[in-house]
């Protein structure tokens, strides 16, 4: 397998954690977002969306981190990332989607670039936008997650794979996380695990 990846991409970070938890090796091919390599023709031939990650396997190419993670889950059932019952799986997906569908897309690089460029907002306004959407999502998630160590149950799930990279980014953008003690304790515990820690941007 080959993962088109960028070290600071939180969507790629999700996939790196999944690969580590499942013990799968994968060649990592960097796509440098600082150089806008994601928009160059050789990469859009791989992912027409011009976003990372993309996973190349013998069957073809997959984009969208959650589609990749669900495919890994179904193809490599060891260390399951979703619980057993349909109801519990739906609950975990709901938490994962809060991050992946309702927080991350609003604060993605191309959105921030559009605010700063075409819409000409100031750096302060851009940061206010970023912090606003993190708080909107985290306030809800703080109530939805179970107590630490994980968002749900006693094993890491797809919800943790989404939450941890989003917290990583929030810290990078200096979001005040003091009102989210459950989220931050999940983050601290997960980051102490080698499968999460070694997937981190560093
Ligand atoms: N929903 C997509 C989001 C992918 C995405 O937005 N990736 C970001 C990095 S985290 C990206 O490539 N951004 C480049 C840009 O915004 O131009 C997924 O989960 O894979």
Residues 64 and 147 in one domain: no
Residues 32 and 104 in one domain: no
Residue 108 Cβ inside 6 Å of ligand 1? The answer reads: yes
Residues 92 and 174 in one domain: yes
Residue 127 Cβ inside 6 Å of ligand 1? The answer reads: no
pLDDT in the model for residue 148: 76
Q: Is residue 80 part of a domain?
A: no
pLDDT in tens, 125-182: 999 999 999 999 999 999 999 877 999 999 999 999 999 999 999 999 999 999 999 9
Single out the residue in 75, 101, 119 at which a domain terminates: 75
> What sign does the CA torsion over 177, 6, 15, 132 have?
positive
Residue 100 Cβ inside 6 Å of ligand 1? The answer reads: yes
Residues 102 and 158 in one domain: yes
The predicted model gives 42-62 an average pLDDT of 97
The predicted model gives 121-127 an average pLDDT of 97
> Which helix (H) or strand (E) covers residue 61, if one does?
strand 60-63
| Nearest CA owner, ligand 1 atom 17 | 110
Model confidence at 23, in pLDDT bands (50, 70, 90)? very high
32: which residues sit within 8 A by CB, 6+ positions away? 6
pLDDT in the model for residue 125: 98
Residues 71 and 90 in one domain: no
- The DSSP call for residue 65 is H
Model confidence at 48, in pLDDT bands (50, 70, 90)? very high
| Confidence (pTM) | 0.97
How many residues can be counted in the chain? 202
The predicted model gives 2-7 an average pLDDT of 98
Find residue 5's DSSP bridge partners. 30
Residues 91 and 64 in one domain: no
Q: Using the predicted structure, report yes or no on whether residue 28 has a pLDDT greater than 90.
A: yes
Residues 15 and 65 in one domain: yes
Residues 93 and 178 in one domain: yes
The CATH number covering residue 54 comes to 3.40.30.10
- How far apart are the CA of 65 and the centre of ligand 1, in A? 9
Residues 38 and 71 in one domain: yes
Residues 125 and 189 in one domain: yes
pLDDT in the model for residue 115: 97
Residues 187 and 129 in one domain: yes
Question: What is the residue range of 46's domain?
Answer: 2-75
Residue linked to tokens 């440098």: 32
Contact 95, 162 (CB under 8 A): yes
pLDDT in tens, 53-109: 999 999 999 999 999 999 999 999 999 999 999 999 999 999 999 999 999 999 999
The CATH number covering residue 153 comes to 1.20.1050.10
Residues 91 and 125 in one domain: yes
Query: How far is Cα 154 from Cα 35, in angstroms, rounded to an integer?
Result: 40
Query: What are the DSSP calls for 8-25, one per residue?
Result: T-HHHHHHHHHHHHTT--
pLDDT in the model for residue 147: 72
The predicted model gives 28-53 an average pLDDT of 97
């Amino acid at each position: 397998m080959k993962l088109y990846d960028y070290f600071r991409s939180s969507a790629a970070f999700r996939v790196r954690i999944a690969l580590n938890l499942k013990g799968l090796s994968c060649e990592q091919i960097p796509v440098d977002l600082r150089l806008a390599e994601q928009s160059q023709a050789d990469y859009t031939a791989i992912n027409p969306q011009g976003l990372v990650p993309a996973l190349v396997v013998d069957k073809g190419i997959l984009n969208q981190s959650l589609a990749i993670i669900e495919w890994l889950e179904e193809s490599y059932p060891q260390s399951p990332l979703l619980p057993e019952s349909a109801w519990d799986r739906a609950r975990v997906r709901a938490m994962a989607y809060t991050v992946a569908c309702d927080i991350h897309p609003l604060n993605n690089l191309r959105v921030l670039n559009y605010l700063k460029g075409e819409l000409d907002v100031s750096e302060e306004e851009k940061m206010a936008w970023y912090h606003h959407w993190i708080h909107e999502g985290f306030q809800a998630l703080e109530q939805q997650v179970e107590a630490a160590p994980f968002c749900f149950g006693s094993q890491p799930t797809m919800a943790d794979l989404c939450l941890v990279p989003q917290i990583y980014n929030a810290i990078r953008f200096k979001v005040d996380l003091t009102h989210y003690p459950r989220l931050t304790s999940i983050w601290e515990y997960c980051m102490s695990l080698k499968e999460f820690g070694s997937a981190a941007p560093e």
